[in-house]
Chain A
Amino acid sequence: MRSLLLTGVTPGLLSAWLAVLAATPGRALAQVEDHQYSTADIRTGSRLYGAQCALCHGQNGDGVAGVNLPRQQFRRAASDDDIRNTITTGVTAAGMPPFRLQPAELDGLIAFIRSGFDITATPFTVGDAGRGKAVYDGTGACAACHRVAGMGPRTAPDLSDVGAIRQPAAIQRSLLEPSRAMVPINRPLRIVTREGRTIRGRRVNEDTATVQLIDEGERLVSLSKSDIREFELGTASSMPSFAGKLTGEELADLLAYLLSLKGQ
């Protein structure tokens, strides 16, 4: 089996506080194409990023329009050398100054970006995407709720680009502990309107006065909160946990398939 084993470092108090999955101490590696980045590099990059880059690029790396660093979306860079060049020469037109950094610091920044900003380095195994698709369609029955490239229902989040927008550890967390890993915006809603109509669905946007959701019949619904009698936001995901239901190998394969989904 072609696989890449990633083992985690001890989570800091932060991740403990956030009740992240416990990880075993060890060495972590992230891999993008043919490059490997060490935990030490990722951590160096994380510190440097916070000090030098986060003000403009944001803590989540999406602070500059058209650029999303953890999702590997750049305006011009593609290879590690491209990223290195952008950092050292700057982008004058966009207001990015050139940075004078040591080679090891540059390696760290690139490692941090390539790791998708994931310094917790939760262990996960990436298996075979082809076999993973079979798990997705078969044992996992993922297609019963999720949609990929225009196929499948829309009630659960569309996964067509999940490999581009979520990190491997986060996807694995969703498979094993879906409720804990659920991104808050996706929480299930049960609403009873003043007229007595009950609507169940997935939240897609909310503000002080209104809420938008997609209901079980895939209808887009927008409601004024003043028309709502009961508003129940669930914290339990309707997705089942696959812990103990899939073998380790099936899980690795499924993860590989999901990571291969990069959207358009």
Chain B
Amino acid sequence: MRISLRYALSLLAVSGLSAPVAAQAQVTPERLERAAAEPQNWLTHNGGYDSKRYSTLTQITPGNVKNLEQKWVLQNQVFGAWESNPLVVDGIMYVTERPNDVIALDAKTGKVFWLYRYTPSPDARVCCGANNRGVAVLGDTLFMGTLDAHLIALDAKNGRPLWNIAVADVKLAYSITMAPLVVKDKVIIGVGGGEFGIRGFVAAYDAKTGKEAWRFNTIPGPGEPGHETWSGDDWMHGGASVWITGSFDPSLNLTYWGIGNPGPDWNPDQRPGDNLYSDSVVALDADSGELKWHFQFTPNDGYDYDSVQIPVLADMAWQGKPAKLMLWANRNGYFYVLDRVTGQFLLGEPFVKVNWASGLDPNGRPIQTPQPPGMPTWPGNQGGTNWYPPSFSPRTGLFYFSVWENYATIYRKDDQEYVPGRNFLGGGFTVVTPVPGAPTIGIGRRGPINNWTNEVGSGATVALDPRTGKRVWTFPQFDVTDAGMLTTASDLLFTGGREGYFYALDAKTGKELWKANLGGAIVMAPITYRIDGQQYVSVISGHTLVTFGLRN
């Protein structure tokens, strides 16, 4: 049996014997591909190309999780929601903070090695805050997208910029908030701006030079298949942004990307047709960017149901046969199972109250039931779930994600003319409240008091059986939650919510095993890693990144 030196090193790293060697190793494409075999690290945005956010570390267990203690804290030096997701590479953590700072720190102590500051152009426009969700790594290089739609390569050892390219025109309100995806020798990134009339795309760049290798327009141009799903010039400003990191299946050489809403957001009448590939998942060849298949969740969307959820890739039996599946809880309130080889629709079930559609046809296409003007639509504008990273545990066979329950919105359509760089929304919406003028759920918490209460909507952490699309358990929260998920091989589920609680739940039953009040909204997913035999769990709450480990 022939084993490459690199692979041998990674095996050594797994064994935990070779810390000095592993600490010097570069992050090769092979290591990224086998990220799951290095549970001491967190090498990609979602812990591996399959985006399961499942770790094989088992030091922290349901039995001892109550002995978690805070090991260190990193205070954010700027204010605003902190949606970043750290990477951990051989003991070094890389995390971004708004607008586009990168910090390298000792993942064992929280002590900072270097801080890189980038000031985006004042022309940058984003709908929902100056967010950045993290970096990607390859070799000794980090990659970050910026609010002004640049892609920057940094030396991971000292934070010095290596190259900086414009991915798109900031004056047209293109932006980047997602963490890039590195596949082989390329850095792949998508663009935001779905509320500003952009034409979205995913593009790959040579990791060494920043030279563009391929580009996939998420709205097909004239002559391309799918262009007929747009009318007139609507495609030129039809949105279809990409603002969440995709997944990669090396065995198929396919990358998968969730695509955002069509524009203008709330007036589907202004853009007749299905509006491909808005609200879809696309499978793109990793080397060429060629479209292999697509599946559209919400054709001609009038509700801002971005399909920017993270594609979760699971290999499991489907109707008795081994299958390569894609699991997807969509903002539109339906949970989907797709065959990720072909894009074939296998299952779709609503996981919250839905009234914008009466069901799905045999091909997974929704039977749309638009509500009369002034009447509420379920789920509301932020969706039954949204971009918050889910998790799939191969041990429990369950899919975990955050949902918003009893949350509805009344939409209003207006005709809107496209003006470059300006909002392109086509109407507005109000959240349904029990009392006129009562406080309603916003994109984020604005204070420590929940004055909207659960009468306007509430959150829950849900475990769903992908074989049936039905809930197995529900862990209700009083406020809504934008928290992502982390599962481990000891059947722990780590998550949080806007209230600031950081939870460890029993992944099998949903029972609360431990919680800590961290005081600020948790709007991202926890990660886990190991250094010198100690397992750590890190999570961002408000303006702090807190790292826990068992009491020694």
Contact = CB atoms under 8 A, between A and B. Distances in A.
Contacts of A26: none
Given A13-B375, A18-B433, A208-B501, A51 B416 contact: yes
A120 interface: yes
Interface stretch (B152-160, B239-247, B439-447): B439-447
Contacts of A182: 435
B453 interface: yes
A55 B501 contact: no
B499 A63 contact: no
A183 B451 contact: yes
Given A59-B431, A207-B479, A208-B476, A170 B437 contact: yes
A17 B408 CA distance: 13
B440 A184 contact: no
B499 A17 contact: no
A173 B436 CA distance: 10
B410 A206 contact: no
Interface stretch (B121-129, B175-183, B228-236, B339-347): B121-129
Contacts of B374: 12-14, 16-17
Nearest to B424: A51
Interface in B353-394: 372-376
A1 B433 CA distance: 36
A18 B425 contact: no
A166 interface: yes
Interface string B166-187: 0000000000000000000000
B477 A59 contact: no
A50 B477 contact: no
B426 A51 contact: yes
A25 B342 CA distance: 58
In this complex, the interface size class of chain A, counting residues with CB under 8 Å from chain B, is 35 or more
Contacts of B450: 185, 205-207
A180 B435 contact: yes
B226 interface: no
A217 interface: no
Q: Which of B375, B426, B428, B446 has the most CB of A within 10 A?
A: B428
B190 interface: no
A55 B440 contact: no
A208 B451 contact: no
Contacts of A59: 428-431, 440, 442
A169 B128 CA distance: 31
Interface string A44-58: 001101111011001
Given A14-B410, A51-B414, A181-B435, A205 B449 contact: yes
Nearest to A166: B437
B515 interface: yes
A207 B195 contact: no
Contact of A185 (B376, B423, B440, B453): B453
B497 interface: yes
A62 interface: yes
Given A62-B446, A97-B125, A206-B450, A54 B428 contact: yes
A204 interface: yes
A13 B429 CA distance: 14
Interface residues of B, number: 53
Given A12-B374, A51-B426, A97-B125, A185 B436 contact: no
A158 to B, nearest CB: 14
A18 B479 contact: no
Nearest to A97: B125
B433 A185 contact: no
Contacts of A60: 439-440, 442
A55 B195 contact: yes
B449 A50 contact: no
Interface string B294-317: 000000000000000000000000
B434 interface: yes
A180 B438 CA distance: 11
Contacts of B421: 97
A145 interface: no
B522 to A, nearest CB: 12
A51 B425 contact: yes
Nearest to B374: A13
B216 interface: no
A50 B425 contact: yes
Interface in A144-162: none
B453 A206 contact: yes
Interface in A1-59: 12-18, 20, 46-47, 49-52, 54-55, 58-59
B435 A208 contact: no
Given A47-B414, A59-B429, A62-B446, A184 B453 contact: yes
B99 to A, nearest CB: 10
Contacts of B438: 183-184
Contacts of B430: 14, 59
Contact of A92 (B122, B427, B456): B122
B404 to A, nearest CB: 14
B412 interface: yes
A55 B410 contact: no
A101 B128 CA distance: 23
Contacts of A78: none
B140 interface: no
Interface of B: 122, 125, 127-128, 195, 372-376, 410, 412, 414, 416, 421-423, 425-440, 442-443, 446, 448-456, 476-479, 497, 499, 501, 515
Given A58-B443, A59-B428, 7 more contacts: A17-B374, A18-B434, A54-B428, A170-B437, A184-B456, A185-B449, A205-B450
23 contacts: A14-B410, A18-B434, A18-B435, A50-B427, A51-B414, A51-B425, A51-B428, A54-B428, A55-B127, A55-B128, A55-B195, A59-B431, A60-B442, A167-B437, A181-B435, A183-B438, A184-B438, A184-B452, A185-B453, A206-B453, A206-B454, A207-B477, A207-B501
